[in-house]
Amino acid sequence: MQRRLYVRIVAVLALTILTLMLPTPEGLSPEGKRAIAAFVFTSSIFTLQPVSLPFAGLIVFVSMVVLGVADADQAFQALSRPIVILILGSLFIAEALRKHGITRRFALGSIVASGGDVNRLLLGLMAIASLLSMFMENTATAAVLIPVAMTITNRIDDKEKASEVTLLLVLGIAYAASLGGMVTITGSASNAVASGFLAEIREWTFMDWVKYGLPSFAVIFPITWWLLPKLVKVSLSRIDIAIAQDEVKSIGPIRPVEWEIMGVLVLTIVLWIAGPYVEILFSLPKTVMSPSVVSMLAVTYLSMRDIIVWDDVKDVSWGMLFIIGAGLTLGEVMKLSGATEWLTDPIALLITHPPFIVSLLIIVFSSALLTNIINNATVAAVFTPMMIGLARQDPTLNILQLVIPLTLATTFGYALPSASGRMALISATGIVERGDMIRFGIILTIVSALALTALFYVITLFGWI
């Protein structure tokens, strides 16, 4: 284990040093070359993971300073961005849902509602995973729901059939947790990174993202649910759900504190969407109803009511903030150093010259396949500024037609454990063999990418974007 760790560390450093030692290409400044070395370092440390992702995110900040592409203030400045505060608030609210058993109640309710039918059970768990992942960290959602699913499948006497159903449900939860993240800014690190860059050049609200994320989810979710049982063959059509029924009875009716938390969540979502209109209606100071402020107001209320306390939130996924911050910083230093502009020129040939449908295919498939190798926040951090640069160079291009499908395609990191925390989680359980993960993941990545391309081509034709 230690030897493998050292090999990964050496590989990360070797790739970075090799990039620095290569001759500086024509048109690229020395600072731009160092910024590309920072990209190589970030990509390799997130992919090889010699340390866990949160620590890797922190190391990325330090690497920017060591490589001379940012000073300490510039490197860590991204952690104070409003988008990072919004994600932090959503993590705290999600912890209130978890602490008071609301997420488990939802999962058990979907199991009971299925009546034991495996396909309906898969649909219910995927729907719950998707819904929660719109506002919770995706890996945390999967971590909550997978044990609930395994509690049911462990009751199946035939171990071979039990493993089939477990594989189906676990993959369904992992994929659905990713898909739910498409809908909102808070749903994915890549969404947060892309939104951060879009907010720098135009007014960009929570609802602006939902307008494109929700239709994408509505198209791809049912395709995934329909296709998954075709890939993962299950010989059982019904399973015993008595244990879930017993648990639902034991936890009793919804308690007042649960209603209160769900009320806070609903009001928070409403204000995330309608905040700008509330500011105008009541002549409030600008940004007082911005999503980041609203999320902190919600957290303040929950803490004042002792619904959550500091000991509860110490265990939230703080690492997600470091990953998002690292992505924002990387994108910023590449842009300021000229590396983004230098890389944009050859990419422009692929994007601006072919027909739009071909360009869209290139963007979506490149993003989806890269996300299976490189952390999704890194993909968004590097390529979002490039798409923005292309649209500025060519007035016929629409920034959103490039950035939104590129970012949403980072959802489809299904094939490797390094692709996302969800896939690493289910790989660590031993439920999914590496070969199955790659085979099922590649098929669903291709199908999902085709569906996303078709959707954005249609909404572009109708002028909806």
Report mean pLDDT in 10-residue bins for the chain, 465 residues.
Answer: 80 92 89 92 84 84 92 89 85 87 86 88 92 81 82 79 88 92 89 89 88 96 95 84 85 92 92 87 87 92 92 78 85 87 81 87 92 83 87 82 94 79 74 84 94 95 86
Contact 141, 132 (CB under 8 A): yes
* Inter-residue contact 103 to 143 (CB < 8 Å): no
Residue 385: CB partners within 8 Å, gap ≥ 6?
197, 331, 334, 335, 340
Q: Give the CA diameter of the chain.
A: 70
**432 CB neighbour count, 10 Å cutoff:** 22
Contact 63, 42 (CB under 8 A): yes
pLDDT of residue 38: 92
Question: How many Cα atoms are found within 13 Å in the side-chain-facing hemisphere of 343?
Answer: 20
**Domain positions in the chain:** 82-313
> What's the pTM value of the predicted model, to 2 decimals?
0.85
**Beta carbons of 397 and 356 less than 8 angstroms apart:** no
Q: What's residue 307's pLDDT?
A: 93
